[in-house]
């Protein structure tokens, strides 16, 4: 009979332990309190979403482009239709203000028709972003990026004017290889 009483004591102890564990887990999985909800960061302008819509629109419209490509002092201009706008505007798609790495690294300044983000942390690749609105619609983006490390330094200036033009101006200095300057300018006709 002694073994029967010890068995039930152990069974109760295990049941009590499991109950405590399940209560503890359920309390830790609670939704954030009102105090915690107040600390959530409001999302900034969604650049990738904007440019995905632009890319879809440009892929559908298939506008003629007057495109100039320049490498250092050599340049070439052609009129063409871009087959893959996703590839053409990939530098713009890569900029996302809502990345966790950018939180707390910029100051936002707004006027009637312009929002400027100035990045204060030199460890992030963005230096500034300017968005110009016309009738509450974002129409012009100016993005400045900069990366510096032991192997290379790059500075990149991107500009997109909705329905009119885009440009990518990149200066890259690679250790032991020297400096190269690339520029792409597209005028949408």
Shared-domain flag, residues 83 and 145: yes
Instruction: Write down the pLDDT at residue 116.
Output: 97
Residue 151 is assigned to a structural domain of this protein = yes
Shared-domain flag, residues 64 and 119: yes
Residue 53 is assigned to a structural domain of this protein = yes
Shared-domain flag, residues 57 and 88: yes
Q: What share of the chain is helix, strand, coil (3-state, %, to 5)?
A: 30, 40, 30
Shared-domain flag, residues 26 and 63: no
Confirm whether pTM is higher than 0.85: no
Instruction: Write down the pLDDT at residue 12.
Output: 54
Pairing of strands 178-188, 165-174: antiparallel
Name the domain count of the chain. 2
Shared-domain flag, residues 24 and 80: no
Task: Answer for the pair 109, 115: CB distance below 8 angstroms, yes or no.
Answer: yes
Residue of 168, 139, 156 lying closest to 69 (CA atoms): 168
Instruction: Name residues of the chain where pLDDT drops below 70.
Output: 1-41
Q: How far is CA 89 from CA 45, 53, 58, 142, 179, in A?
A: 18, 12, 11, 14, 24
Residue 42 is assigned to a structural domain of this protein = no
Q: Where in the sequence is the domain holding 179, given as residue range(s)?
A: 47-188
Residue of 157, 134, 136, 159 lying closest to 145 (CA atoms): 157
């Amino acid at each position: 009979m002694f073994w029967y009483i010890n068995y039930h004591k152990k069974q109760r102890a295990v049941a009590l332990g499991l109950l405590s564990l399940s209560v503890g887990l359920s309390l830790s999985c609670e939704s954030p309190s009102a105090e915690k909800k107040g600390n959530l960061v409001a999302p900034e302008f969604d650049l990738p979403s904007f440019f995905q819509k632009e890319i879809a629109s440009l892929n559908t419209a298939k506008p003629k482009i007057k495109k100039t490509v320049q490498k250092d002092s050599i340049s070439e201009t052609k009129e063409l239709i871009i087959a893959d706008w996703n590839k053409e505007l990939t530098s713009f798609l890569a900029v996302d203000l809502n990345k966790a790495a950018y939180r707390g690294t910029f100051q936002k300044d707004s006027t009637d028709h312009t929002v400027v983000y100035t990045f204060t942390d030199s460890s992030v690749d963005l230096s500034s972003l300017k968005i110009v609105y016309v009738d509450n619609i974002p129409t012009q983006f100016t993005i400045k990026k900069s990366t510096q490390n032991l192997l290379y330094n790059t500075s990149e200036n991107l500009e997109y004017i909705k329905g009119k033009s885009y440009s990518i101006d990149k200066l890259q200095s690679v250790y032991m290889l020297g400096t190269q300057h690339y520029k792409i300018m597209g005028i949408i006709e």
